[in-house]
A and B are shown apart, each in its own frame.
Chain A
Amino acid sequence: MSGRFGRSPRGMQHWLGFLLLLAVLLAIPFVAALGGQAWVRIANFAILYVFLALGLNIVVGYAGLLDLGYVAFYAVGAYCYALLASPHFGIHLPFWVILPFGAAVACLFGVLLGAPTLKLRGDYLAIVTLGFGEIIRIFMNNLNAPINVTNGAQGITLIDPIRIGDFSFAKTSTIFGVTLSGPQKYYFLLVALAALVIVVNIRLQNSRIGRAWQAIREDEVAAKACGINTRNIKLLAFAMGASFGGIAGGVFAAMQGFVSPESFSLMESITILAMVVLGGMGHIPGVILGAILLTGLPEALRYGIEPLQKAVFGRMIIDPESLRMLVFGLALVLVMRFRPAGLWPSSLRRRELSEATD
């Protein structure tokens, strides 16, 4: 992509677009705050999911390895942060130590998961990764005895917020005359992290490794025949995806100030996968769109479904909350029905699809 930022007129357009995007990103937390701080929080979770979805995109979208246990790495990252920055063990390390550490541990887990499953394909891999996700969650839920490591189902409280010197992300403060609330500060942190993962994704896409993944995705046997070390390359996909999950987990723990195993259920893995597929697997803008939509839609429905029902039927017919998830489910089905390759698929995929006869 960077190649496109040339000095040609098209390059200018790209720069303009980039600046516009930057302006929009900067404005979002302030515009959202007009509708209430809740929207800033929603925006934060949306970006956190962009981060997670792009991490999973490496595994599923690029390397074609169906992973239903991605939340395990997210959980590992979150617990790393929680254990190293809370009164639970009385350890309070700064975030810039823990986040890389969490990423490294998650990466290790990624390799641990990857190694025994190298031979597996498709749906067999899916069920093993799913099992792995559950195993991690069950351990977190039960490791409070004989030695209390994770505090079991009760979770870990009073986790330190991200802090730079005296500048804490949890409190409202004023910088250069601009008042920023806690969620707004996290917003900027998250945007910066998301930018990082986007750059990594873009760079990977067209790298040697990226092409090797693509080769494996399309035909593993042929890839091997071409001299690609499929074992290492697949492990690398797991490891990279896992590291991003680990970082996201750390930020989540800091943002929430509390972690417990219920945040890392199978449903979470499925939701992240749905973001990747719904948006357009392997296509960065698509995945971002998918993550934002799937985070935003249920919240928007929360605000919208009651007035909507009143407008259509004149009164409340069904509990708004029952209807909310119903509409969400229907949206998934309908999008897949009418945009089978995702909302914003890469041009390559679209071509494959229209040619596909099988």
Chain B
Amino acid sequence: MDTLLQQLINGLTLGAVYALVALGYTMVYGIIGLINFAHGEVVMIGTMVAFTIIVSLAGSGMPPLLILSVGLLIAVVACMVLGWGLERVAYRPLRHAPRLTPLITAIGMSIVLQNVAMIIWGRNYITFPPMIEKQIYEVAGASFTNVQVAIVVLAALVMIGLTYLVQRTRMGMAMRATAQNQHVAQLMGVDIDRVIAMAFIIGSALGALAGCMVGSYYEIAHYQMGFMLGLKAFTAAVLGGIGNMAGAMAGGLLLGIIEALGAGYIGDLTGNFLGSHYQDIFAFMVLIVVLMFRPSGLFGERTGDRA
């Protein structure tokens, strides 16, 4: 039983990370229906920037928590600028282009960002400096750390904050209006350029946050880390129903837990015919089954024709 509990804790943390990244995808998708494939790279840049700041401040004698906060803050700001820049330079000119065009742009941007990061931060794996001393807690035979708690709490806070933003503020109302119909929103006086830019900025800020979490959880960073993470998070977003915030959150958590349970129990379930190397297959199978019964994801609404 303690194994199951431990696996759930593992899955929950992993899921919270996926969820944070997935929210970035969903923010953008929900409003303009674009899969921002470069989002994983934004997360990576966030991690790298935070890394640089933290390392350069490490010897300054400031308290660790302050250093961490400064690093986080600068990473968030850097990613906001990056997200704004991406939208302005790469995506805005394509707003009326065929649907797949921005997808290729996103792939191109993702290659560019990866290689820029490789030139700046090098090819080697980087140790993300552990700023908070890790405390290990044990409950009922399962262990977890304060960093894990922080990740889950942070993910929950971000979720609540975003829901508030979208449901209760004027900007949020503008976002929902833009998502429903850009033209009508524009007629109602919504500055859709600003709204869309905001979606990218907020999404990227979330990406930076997720990046810092990933960095301090695994204590490792690499210029290619964004790709797999982005892919998994994207899967999570689709699982939950892309464009839907609660969906991204649920999809992320679900995917994390499925992966943990898959790796943990797939061998026992199949009499050791399939082992933990089929963990990803397991996750994708769940995805396919869910989509067969709910073609728009768990929380998604039928969005009509988009191909």
A and B touch in the complex (CB under 8 A): yes
Chain A residues 112-135 with CB under 8 Å of chain B are 116-117, 119-128, 130-132, 134-135
Chain B contact residues: over half helix, strand or loop, or mixed?
helix
Docked complex Cα distance between A131 and B94 (Å):
27
Chain A residues 204-231 with CB under 8 Å of chain B are 217, 219-221
Q: Which residues from chain A contact B296 at a C-beta distance below 8 Å?
A: 124
Chain B residues 56-100 with CB under 8 Å of chain A are 90, 93-94, 96-100
- Asked if A146 CB lies within 8 Å of chain B CBs, one says yes
Docked complex Cα distance between A358 and B103 (Å):
17
Contact status A358-B96, CB under 8 Å: yes
> Which residue from A119, A139, A221 sits with its C-beta under 8 Å from B295?
A119
- Asked if B306 CB lies within 8 Å of chain A CBs, one says yes
Contact status B100-A333, CB under 8 Å: no
**Closest chain B CB from A346 CB (angstroms):** 12
- Asked if B269 CB lies within 8 Å of chain A CBs, one says no
Chain B residues 10-62 with CB under 8 Å of chain A are 29, 35
> Which residue from B35, B284, B287 sits with its C-beta under 8 Å from A123?
B35
Give the size of the chain A interface in residues (CB under 8 angstroms): 58
Q: Which residues from chain A contact B132 at a C-beta distance below 8 Å?
A: none
**Closest chain A CB from B116 CB (angstroms):** 7
Contact status B96-A357, CB under 8 Å: yes
> Which residue from B287, B288, B306 sits with its C-beta under 8 Å from A122?
B306
- Asked if A281 CB lies within 8 Å of chain B CBs, one says yes
Closest to A332 in B: B108
Known: A135-B284, A281-B100, A337-B105. A128 touches B306 (CB 8 A): no
Q: Which residues from chain B contact A116 at a C-beta distance below 8 Å?
A: 288, 292
- Asked if B153 CB lies within 8 Å of chain A CBs, one says no
Docked complex Cα distance between A111 and B66 (Å):
57
Chain A residues 295-348 with CB under 8 Å of chain B are 318-319, 322-323, 325-326, 328-333, 336-337, 340-341
Q: Contact flags (1/0) for B248-259 with A, using CB distance below 8 Å?
A: 000000000000
Chain B residues 235-268 with CB under 8 Å of chain A are 235, 238, 242
Docked complex Cα distance between A217 and B306 (Å):
10
> Which residue from A64, A117, A131 sits with its C-beta under 8 Å from B284?
A131
**Partner-binding segment picked from B140-148, B158-166, B203-211, B274-282:** B274-282
20 new A-B contacts at CB < 8 Å, known A117-B291, A340-B94: A120-B291, A124-B297, A125-B307, A131-B288, A132-B288, A135-B284, A138-B277, A322-B119, A325-B114, A326-B116, A329-B111, A329-B114, A330-B108, A333-B108, A337-B90, A337-B94, A353-B96, A353-B98, A357-B96, A358-B183
24 A-B pairs (CB sep. < 8 Å): A60-B100, A117-B288, A124-B296, A124-B297, A131-B235, A131-B287, A132-B288, A138-B277, A138-B281, A141-B277, A274-B107, A281-B100, A326-B119, A330-B112, A333-B90, A333-B112, A336-B94, A336-B97, A337-B94, A353-B98, A356-B96, A357-B96, A358-B96, A358-B182
Interface residues of A (CB under 8 A from B): 60, 64-66, 116-117, 119-128, 130-132, 134-135, 138-139, 141-142, 146, 217, 219-221, 266, 270, 273-274, 277-278, 281, 318-319, 322-323, 325-326, 328-333, 336-337, 340-341, 349, 353, 356-358
